[in-house]
Amino acid sequence: METQRILMRSLAVVVFASVIWTITDAVEKVVPCCTAVSRLTREQFTDPIIGFRLQNESLPCLKAVVFETVRGELCLDWRQRWVKEEVKKLL
């Protein structure tokens, strides 16, 4: 009888820990954001732009334009003139 109680308590602890771990893991997985931006010139940025998204500032994330290319995403300074022009072309 005592062994059964110990097993049930152990099982309860394992289930509880698993639930907490799962919830905590889900909360910590946030969408990656730009914590730094590139100041590449248009001449240095040669990849074709497939799409973009705007990122608002919410520390540690910086305000940025994120261009999507075939090689991945690149965070760029939203204040650069050429970046603004590219965004207008994509709208």
Digit-coded pLDDT (tens) for 4-48: 666 556 544 444 444 445 554 555 556 689 999 999 999 999 999
CA dihedral of residues 83, 53, 34, 86 (deg, nearest 10):
-10
CA dist., res. 83 & res. 89, Å (int): 10
pTM greater than the 0.95 cutoff: no
CB atoms within 10 A of CB 40: 16
Is the preceding peptide bond at 48 cis, omega within 30 degrees of 0?
Answer: no
What letter represents residue 42's amino acid? R
Q: Which two tokens stand for residue 5?
A: 């109680």
